[in-house]
Structure 1
Amino acid sequence: MNRVTTKYHKAGFLLAGFLLLYSFVFAQYPVSGEVLEVNNNYSDVRVELSSGNQNVDIPVSANGHFFTSLEWNKKYNFSFKKEGYVTKVIEFSTHLPEGVSSSSIEPYHMPVRLFRIFEWVDTVFFQNPVAKIRYDKSEVRSDGRFGDFADDRDYSLNVKFRIDQMRREGEEASASVKAKKPAKKPTKTKKQKRANNTNSENTADIPIKEEEQTPNTIDKDFARREMNGAPPLKPVYPEGETNEEFALKNRHIHRTIFVYNGQRKVFISVKHEWGGHFFFIDEAHIGYRCISKEVYEHSILNCRTKIKQYK
């Protein structure tokens, strides 16, 4: 999907034009979004919007898209819920600094990835927001000017670190429990039992192959498979732009890391020998997300502009 975006990927030109017109008419701020990673089943996905004592449900379309409008200079909580999935809360503040006109702010597009509840998940932890969105005077808009809504990167990175830690602890605990359990003896089907009765006593039992378990998509999703083989990010990168190249057996990975103003942003390009070319952005609260080439290129230019600003 083509998007003219900074962080969180603004809507496309046509959608942006419609939403801007909407905001002018109703003097409210338009926010759209989409729910991801729910196996294309949106029948019981709920998006709740709350502010103070007011709570409303936002309709979700058959393909997971939603739209609402927010009043200016207020704080909201978006809650994303689905049976069997971890509920996510995103805080959104529409407060603007003095002197900033609401008509200059572009519409906001919010992709949200849900993941299944896993063992040892701390559901109390997810009662707090996984991301906080607010006005950032350093954010570069699609027209090249500064000042737009963006997520609090430091906050999101801390949340992502805690979620990754929670998942690792769960995997380690699960592996420990499995290691202590005695191996189950394969059971025989009725057909094998009948065959065994007709064979001599010296005939060995035919082992039953246990059904292979499909990995949970949260552990081996598309992005992880695409980027498999690249070494992990270093703990610290220098200020500015760093480019890393990784030549693997059947694909080439290019990783670009930007560090400026206390923030770190990561973009990945994966080019396969058969011609496939995929692009990813590291969104702290949802992990790596596949994006279009246009969004990738625009985001790279956006970060380079910001680096020049802070030099």
Structure 2
Amino acid sequence: MKKFRFFVVLLGLFALLGFSKTINAQETVNVTITVKKDDTQVGDVVSTTGTLGGTIKVDTLLPEVTDATFMFWTINGVVRTDLDIDSLIKVTSKLDLVAHYASTGKYSVAYLDTNTKLIDVDYVNVSGTLTPPVSGPNPKDVPGRKGTSFDGWALITNYEAPASTALENPGAKAYFVAKYTVTETAEYTVTVDGTPLAGTYKLNDTATAVSTDPNFSYWKDETGAVLSYESSYTFTVLNANVTLTSVNEGEVNEPLVSIRRFVGYETGKNAFIGHYELDLTK
């Protein structure tokens, strides 16, 4: 059974479609902006506001940072490698921004969890030694993951490479992502329309439910929640048996976002894995 490349879980991020929250026109959101140079705060935290669903540009609000080069933003703790210091940033219901700078002659080597949340950063020059985080309980340690063991790190640009805990200085700004191996031995079943699929599944295995009914509408779980409008639906098995039922009332063609809770993924956190289906031709 094929595994997903990343052991990806969304930790309480519900910004996609708002779910039960109604977005009011012109709703104001408080925004905080922190600037760090070599991981040390520069000046005071800046407070401003933005309009929910709009964009904000904050570079002109930042305290002056001398003898330094901008490296990356974190937004609510998540690293954004695609943003420049003067980029427009989408305003969500929570917006805590941190601009990360490195002193002249240095660059950042950031360590990310699989959900791209920042764990720690090294600021080094070309002859510097890296000190990647280790697995442990401290804020800048690699967090424990249910049913897995921490293997080490791989560059975000080459995540399929073997993991390593002894990292060489890459010589330029870089992002390393944690890699885990599933150690959970429990096995789970997947039942589709009353018939168990062949074999058993372990944590983070993928399974596929297929319907050939010409009137297929969607798949639902045992609670009645709609999971997919695709007649061939591939999903990740978490830490429970799965029961799917097909509903055959004719084709449905509309966007879908579904969220499944993953109990115990990280101690003290509410963890969820998401699935979305969008018609990009419209």
| TM bracket, shorter-chain basis | under 0.3
Larger strand proportion of the pair? 2
Larger helix proportion of the pair? 1
Larger Rg: 1
> Structure 2 length normalisation: TM-score?
0.27
> Structure 1 length normalisation: TM-score?
0.25
